[in-house]
Amino acid sequence: MFDVAIATFLLPVLVGIALALLVLNPFFNRGPLMYYQCRMGHGGAPFRAFKFRTMIPATASGRGAYDALEEDRISRMGRVMRKLRIDELPQIINVLRREMSLIGPRPDLYDHARIYMESVPGYAARQQMMPGISGYAQTEVGYVDGKEGIKRKVAADLYYLVHASFRFDLWIAWRTLCVIAGRKGR
């Protein structure tokens, strides 16, 4: 209920930012405003995660599960949105649809998650919880790529799984606001 209440409270913020981005998008980030990705959710179920698009559209993504982020495709406006984590704001729709929580392990691309489940010890255990817009791994480990980075992220997610509580969620929410204020998003 807390997630739904906060997501409902944030809905006007999402609409306001979406309207502003709708005006700016044709000048600084040509292409569609929204982007949808198939992510792995609770229990390993696929769902469509909503995001503001930050990258130049590509015909097909050839990025593998352990490949580095295609930084050269991030638009100028996309860099700002990522630094402030604005690109994740549409996921409050996923929270209202009960596909995500505000706090929990970040959902990975579905195809990448299937590879991680087979190759990264403990990865499957993260699927026991509802994925989150932000999480302990995002605030304390940050963006990762490569197998060793995924292992660090999974270790943080497993720590969260064991220690999850309302108080811990509030601390992660605070840390998320610190990351946003410090423009440390990637």
More confident residue, 185 or 168: 168
> Which carries the bigger pLDDT value, residue 162 or residue 182?
162
Mean pLDDT value across the chain: 89
The whole-number pLDDT of residue 56 equals 81
Comparing 26 with 183, the larger pLDDT belongs to 26
The sign of the CA dihedral 183, 186, 135, 121 is: negative
Classify residue 7 as left (phi > 0), alpha (psi -120 to 50) or beta: alpha
User: For residue 186, is pLDDT > 60?
Assistant: no
Task: Return the pLDDT at 61.
Answer: 61
Q: Name the token pair of 162.
A: 């064991």
pLDDT of residue 59: 62
| Banded pLDDT at 184 (limits 50, 70, 90) | low
Predicted confidence band at 76 (pLDDT cuts at 50, 70, 90)? Answer: confident
Strands 101-103 and 132-134, how do they pair?
Answer: parallel
CA 16, CA 182: separation in Å to the nearest integer? Answer: 22
Residue 94 confidence (pLDDT): 97
pLDDT greater than 80 at residue 67 = no
pLDDT digits (tens, 9 = 90+) for 100-152: 999 999 999 999 999 999 999 999 999 999 999 999 999 999 888 888 999 99
Cα(147)–Cα(82) distance, integer angstroms: 23
Does pTM surpass 0.85? yes
Asked if 64 contacts 134 with a C-beta cutoff of 8 angstroms, the reply is no
Please check the confidence at residue 82 and state whether its pLDDT lies above 60: yes
For 13-61, how does the pLDDT look when each residue is reduced to its tens digit (9 = 90+)?
999 999 999 999 888 888 899 989 999 999 999 999 999 998 887 666 6
Where along the chain do its domains lie?
Answer: 2-181
CA distances from 102 to 32, 68, 115, 178 (A): 25, 26, 25, 16
